[in-house]
Structure 1
Amino acid sequence: MFRNSLSRGASAVALLFVIDAHTAFSQESLPTIDIGSAGAGDRTPRRAETRAPLDTVAPAASRLDLTPRQTPASVHVMTSDEMRERGFDQAQDAVAAFPGVIVGNNPISPTSYSMRGFTGNQITVLRDGVYLGPANFINRPANSFNVESVEVLKGAASLLHGQGAIGGVVDIRTKEPSFGPTRFDAFVNGGSFGTVNLGVGVGAQLSDDIAARLDVSRSRSSGFVKNAPSDSLNLTASMLWKPQENFSVKLGMDFLDDNMSPYYGTPLVPLPYARSPMTGVVTSSTGLALDQAMRFNNYNVGDALLATTQFMPTAHVVYKPTSEVTFTDDAYYFFADRKWQNAETYTFLGPNNGRTDALGNPIPAGTIARDRFYVYHDQHKLGNTLTMTVDRPILDFDNKFLLGADVNSTHFVRDRGFPSASIADYVDAWNPNQGTWGLYAGEWPIRRSPTRIDDYAALFEDVLTLRPDLKLVTGARYEFERLDRVNYNQNGTFSNTTSFRRNFHPFNFRVGMIYDVTKDISLYGQYTTAKDPIGSAIYVVNAAQNFNLSSSRQYEVGAKASFQDGKGEATLALYEIHRANILTQTTQNSASSIGSQMSRGVEASANFLITPQWKVSVNAAYTYARYGFFVDPATLVIGTGNRPPNVPTWTANLWTSYSNIADLPFDAGFGLRFVDSRAGNNANTLFLEGYVLADIGLTYHVTPGVDATFRVNNLFDKTYVNWAEVSYPGEVILGAPRSVTFGLTMKF
């Protein structure tokens, strides 16, 4: 099946791979590395040097300051300059440009990622290298203006960041202070659907040993469906104190306040009832379709709530007592207050359905039945990571190793409720009157579930140079994790049967080798392991029986190369991942194994220069993902051998740009994105059809440092499904139609 699937998809990707894009670069467009902001913060006057992405340190991949070329794994990095060039207003747009990654704009689990056959909490999301919690809880749309770079480490990576990293790690890193001249950044853009984005930032050296940076961004949109506005405010600030060359302290603050779009999806309807069925969007073996007449309707309540306020102060201390030894300490505190209060599930009901709403009223034909659900999160996390790095030969072999300890404690309170009736109310399928949240029997009082998780981890990483052209890269992480879950009944009494305490002892490791064929070509291989918790997140498990964590292992080989005198790069990776002992909650106080999952695939990317003005970047990925023995926990349908939802077989990306057209201060960029068909549920009775999106961008350099921009996304107005939430099978989330944006950026 692997060979047949390759041949079926190869022709679809071939054209894109010739012209597609990740982000090509010339000597002029290589990322600018600010020497003053590297590591602990060098006080040397700022100078710019060009360095290829393969040779730029990627903290998400290792704590040893390894570059992607030195790491036996797939590592992708996109800088703020590249994001600005492509017109990415949100950091997740950059992640979607990497090989084999798709992103779902899912309000149930905001900004969901899919890579290497895995989705949701099997992808670990970091903020400045800090693990804040399960991805489906903590992930939020991130304004790219505050971001310095986005890094992705593919595959099993619990060694570095603990439980949950099966398909990969996404690290969103904010801008930092640096010594040198004062720098000023600002932008504003606006366009379709009432969208407005703006930001302002400044970095300055305040004294001989103090530098600071402040960035503020704001975005808002009316949304492409009716009555679905969103807005966010992100403030990031940091200050670097470096009184000596061997000692520095960096203090930071990251604040976010947002209200996400209340668009939970467009309902699926039986084909005979669709007034204007969409074609080429979904395929259903049970006769379901999407109706064009419902395309821009919002079926949520009018006073829907999807809001977050969160902040994270941090402290980063570096002390280098000798040239061979470095101590690093990272301390942080994270607080988040999240609120969801919505009608989230939408089910089309035809004639003679025999259903009633929460008030006992019969539900007529041609209506959408809705539920009600609310959940509130109050999260506090306090953590500290202390490491010692030693760069000293061992038995005449160059060696660099790290020892560390990671300690953190999370206090998480979850309040939730929903009506006693499975259907709260209903609205007309084609002309919904959204109505209000209202109050229903069974919602109140709240059901409260405080959870405390204490985690203690020991870390080890090592790079041993066996020969000048051969390195052995190893690492291990042992954790002791204590989970204390308390549940209260709706009347406020303690629930003894569902409350429990449990200890976990996950151990994960990595073994890899890198062989430099030449100074520009490297081959690598690695074996890594990972662990992830029961169900959707360890924060909400209710299983009192003696369950364990699911385990995963990955095999990967690949190659990385530079060419065109360092102006071009290419990567190739082949991998296989096995995830066993997948657990799910079956009752309030029990859990059972529902199966296993595997994936294998190939990923390739290339960035090159055709002429001094014409850059091309291309990537493509093939993923074969299947369940082993598997039982869908929601429907109890056996899904053995089925494709996991939201995992395309083929993906490909292109970005190409031409600068100074006709010797004028005018640049143009063009992108294509191909996503193959995906399963929309575990039973594989619903498939989301493949699509190709085209984007164009034009930039006029008004003066040095000031650019006027014009961008069109989804140029050909393609209708497609962005994501399917398995828990809500009656609806799918559609992607945005064509949009136009005008903007102005300044950088001095």
Structure 2
Amino acid sequence: MNTPKLSRAHLARIVLVQASLSVAAQAHAFADQPLPTVTVRGTVADDGLSLDRPHASGSRLAMSALDLPASAETLNAATIEARGDLQIKDAVTRTTGLTDSSSPGNGISYSARGFSGNSSIGLLENGQRLLVGSGTATTPADPWGYERIEVLRGPGSVVHGSGTTGAIINAVRKLPRREASVEVLLGAGSSESLRAGIGATGALGEAGAFRVDAYAGRSDGFIDRGESRHGKILSSMSTTLAPGVTLYAQLDHAEQEPRRYFGTPLVGGRLAGHLRDQNYNAGDAMLRYVDDKAVARLNWQVAPGLEISNELAYFKARRDWRNIESYSYDPLADMVERSDYIGIRHDQEQTANRLEARFSSGSNRVVAGWEVSTVNFKHTNNSPYGGASSVAPTGFDPGSFWDTPDPLRPNFATDTLTHAFYLEDAYRVNQRLVLLLGARHDRYKVDRANLLAASGSFDATLRSNSVRLGATWKLAPDTSLYGQFSTGSDPVTSILSLNLANSRFRLSDARQVEAGVKQMLAGGRAEWTAAVYDIKKDDIITRDPNNAALSIQGGSQSSRGVEFTASAALAPGWRVDANAVYTDAEFDALLEAGGVSRAGNRPADVPKTSANLWLNYRADAWRASAGLRHVGERFISNANTQTLPAYTTLDASLGWSLSRNVQLQLNLRNLSDKLYATTSYGSTQYLLGDRRNAELTVHWRY
């Protein structure tokens, strides 16, 4: 069943590689055709909220954030660098209302507007999305090579499809440019941490441009056997093939070996400072992600008001886990009990194509498109995940993962065919009023093969429709009021990992009402936004009230909240960035095991409050900044019987421009050495945040 689609994926990869390699030759054939003029606005660390700039993640019509009737935020590369953020999740969780719920099992995961996980928060690169297999997302991971990160809060299904009720996070790549430039980053810090990056762009022939970004890093981590390694190379090129016809091609490869740490056991139900450095995983544990991507995009300016584009993309992800994942402290024996010797492998390939047409005439702009993809996913594991051992809290032999009695075997494979049709229309009624209409239809056809038995194979079809109706009213050129009604959908579980029990379930439905205000003051020296929203999500999985042994779709949850974001130049050289949210999320109807009602409870991993404050100062060749990050108390399960404590951490940085081209920077993280947990991994162990650490970097640009 897998062979035909797998071969198409390999064929697509060959075609994309050939297209990339032939670009230079094609450029010479049209050497007399210059690249189209591009206007570039420089970015600096104090750019503020960028309300006057296009926000590609909130709409496919290049609307500015000020015109967009939705909560949108942009974080540029200079700001990320100035704050010393190592990973994209470090930067994203400084934006409004996004909190980290990542673990080694789900890779990268967030919570936003009362919804958590990779079935509700979409992760994209350049608007492209790798469908999530078994709840795990691994890319994009670090900010090197990206121009900015865009966040759209609330249902984004009209633009990006299902699984986006909480938010969209889109990392936007740096583009190839004909003007030559090179940048080099070197960094060294605590725990023998080292990292290096190089980026270069320039002309390619008479009508093209290239860009290459390479990055690598390693660290011994803040815990025993906490080593991590990562590296990537991003390459892209663009060229003019004929008047009005441009080609963009991209080839990427990334490898990650995150630290093999699944948490620290609680002692007496509390975080144990004396166990902070301990790692209870096996000595030969493994955690590895490998991601490849190839993209070719052709743009044709058919007429002054009509553009057609086609984008073909190929993704491949390979993920491996060999770990002892569950720990609990036995106070009577003063031992740590270990279980769940879990081995898993994911093999995932996705080939996707997007055909899109953009039309503009006077006050009206329209975009329509068709997306199609095939996804091949294979899951190998060692279920039923046996094995058990006991070790002393400190000074123990970590043992071997292969003490497990369970062999790794291919478990299941799915072939998924997706189709989506979408339409967006922005109409400027007059100088003050902009109306936005969007609609989308998604269809997923899943074929699953049970690789362990002859029975259990099936096919299922899932469908969803989503709409967005919005309006923006300009009170003044720099002040907007907006309102929108939008709908979306989330899968009840990962679509690629759909099993027989879940195959009869529909996609869950979500709807949101939102209103807000956005304003720029003093010519952009100050910007602020505020939003209120109400989201209701139906058809979540619950127990049958007539038979608690059965699962049905009939549960619902809702979320209401207030968000505030501001950036202001207080005085020459000083700028403050701040955001704060209040989220009131609860289950309206939910029955769990035994028919126990969770109605009125808050969903797991959702804080009521979160906030960020960052103060920046610049004077001549110096710059300094300091920031607070606060995450409120969260529950670890829907039962609301156990909490993750609230925490506030302090970070800072100090930069010195040695010359026009060289910047030296000291990054200080968790200055108070706060003992805190970022998320839970079951009821007996929490994943701890990093200790206080320091890093010195030098960034050279030419």
TM-score, normalising length from structure 2?
0.90
> SS at the partner of 1:297?
coil
* Amino acid in the other structure paired with 2:472: I
Superposition pairs of residues 580-595 of structure 1, within 5 angstroms: 580-583=538-541, 591-593=551-553, 595=555
Q: Which of 211, 214, 217 lines up with 1:213 in the alignment?
A: 211
2:99 corresponds to which residue? 102
**Which amino acid letter does the alignment assign opposite residue 437 of structure 1?**
F
Change (3 A) 1:175 1:518: same
Query: Match for 2:654: what amino acid?
Result: L
Q: 1:303 and 2:272 equivalent?
A: no
Residue 654 of structure 1: which of 613, 625, 629 is its match?
A: 613
Alignment of 1:143-222 (within 5 A): 143-179=142-178, 181-222=179-220
CA, structure 1 residues 637+228, in 2 after alignment: closer, same or farther (shift >3 Å)? farther
| Distance of 1:141 and 1:387 partners within structure 2 | 24
**Structure 1 residue 170, shift from structure 2 partner:** 0.7
- Measure the CA separation in 2 of the matches of 1:326 and 1:292: 60
Please give the secondary structure, in 1, of the residue aligned with 2:51.
helix
C-alpha contact (below 8 Å) 1:535/1:541 kept by paired residues: no
For residues 594-653 of structure 1, what are the alpha-carbon distances to aligned partners after superposition, in whole Å with 9 as ceiling and x for unaligned? 6221111111111111122111111111111111222346x8753221111221111111
Q: Distance in 2 between matches of 1:379 and 1:533?
A: 18
- Partners of 2:341 and 2:692 lie apart in 1 by 32
1:448 equivalent to 2:414? Answer no
Q: Which runs of 5+ in 1 are unaligned?
A: 1-39, 272-287, 352-363
- Once the two structures are superposed, what CA deviation does each residue of 1:39-73 show, in whole Å capped at 9, x if it has no partner? x9954487655787112222111111112112110
2:447 paired with 1:484: yes
Distance in 1 of aligned mates of 2:50 and 2:567: 10
- Match 1:426 to one of 375, 385, 390: 390
Asked if the contact 1:542/1:585 (under 8 Å) is kept, the reply is no
Match of residue 687 from structure 2: 733
Partner residue of 2:87 out of 77, 86, 90: 90
Is the 2:109–2:137 Cα contact (8 Å) retained in structure 1? no
Deviation of 1:262 after TM superposition, in Å, equals 0.7
Greater displacement, 298-307 / 671-680? 671-680
Identify the residue that residue 625 of structure 1 maps to in structure 2: 585
1:183-235 deviation per Cα after TM superposition (whole angstroms, max 9, x unaligned): 11111111112211110010101233100000000111111111011111111
In 2 relative to 1, CA 140–130 (structure 1 residues): closer, same or farther, beyond 3 Å?
A: closer
How far 1:544 sits from its partner (Å)?
6.0
Residue 166 of structure 1 aligns with an amino acid whose one-letter code is T
Q: Distance in 2 between matches of 1:594 and 1:303?
A: 44
1:573 and 2:531 aligned? yes
Task: Kindly indicate whether residue 340 of structure 2 is the aligned counterpart of residue 371 of structure 1.
Answer: yes
CA distance in 1, matches of 2:654, 2:305: 49
SS at match of 1:504: strand
- The 5 Å alignment of 1:13-32 reads none
The one-letter code sitting in structure 2 at the alignment partner of 1:390 is F
Please give the residue correspondences for 1:309-348 in structure 2 after superposition, counting only pairs within 5 Å: 309-348=290-329
- Cα 1:374–1:684, aligned 2, differ >3 Å: closer, same or farther? same
Gaps of 5+ in 2: 1-32
| Identity across matched positions, percent | 29
* Aligned 8 A contact 2:543 2:592 in 1: no
8 Å CA contact retained: 1:314, 1:333: yes
Residue 19 of structure 2 aligns with which residue?
Answer: none
Change (3 A) 1:141 1:717: farther
Q: Which residue of 1 aligns with 2:567?
A: 607
Deviation at 1:465, TM superposition (A): 1.6
- Separation (CA, whole Å) in 2 of partners of 1:80 and 1:724: 31
Q: How far apart are 1:591 and its partner, in Å?
A: 4.5
CA distance in 2, matches of 1:666, 1:105: 35
Is 2:463–2:506's contact at 8 Å kept on the other side of the alignment?
no
Partner of 1:547: 505
CA RMSD of aligned residues (A): 2.2
Q: Give the number of equivalent residue pairs.
A: 661
| Structure with greater contact order relative to length (CA < 8 Å, sep ≥ 6) | 1
Gap change, CA 1:41 and 1:643, over 3 Å in 2: farther
Q: Distance in 2 between matches of 1:238 and 1:74?
A: 31
Q: 1:535, 1:585 within 8 Å by CA — same for their partners in 2?
A: no
Residue equivalent to 2:420? 457
Give the match's secondary structure for 2:398: coil
For 1:90 and 1:454, locate their aligned partners in 2 and report how far apart those are by CA, in whole Å: 32
Matched with 2:53 is 56
Give the CA deviation at 1:259.
Answer: 0.5
Give, in whole Å, the separation in 2 of the partners of 1:67 and 1:536: 33
Deviation for aligned residue 1:350: 4.7
Equivalent in the alignment of 2:136: 137
Letter in 1 for 2:274: A
Contact 1:594/1:631 (8 A) holds in 2: no
Contact 2:191/2:221, CA 8 A, preserved across alignment:
yes
Kept in 2, the 8 Å contact 1:262–1:300? The answer is yes
Would the aligned equivalents of 2:35 and 2:208 in 1 still touch at CA under 8 Å? no
TM-score (norm 1): 0.85
Question: 2:242, 2:298 → 1: CA distance?
Answer: 12
1:399 maps to 2:353: no
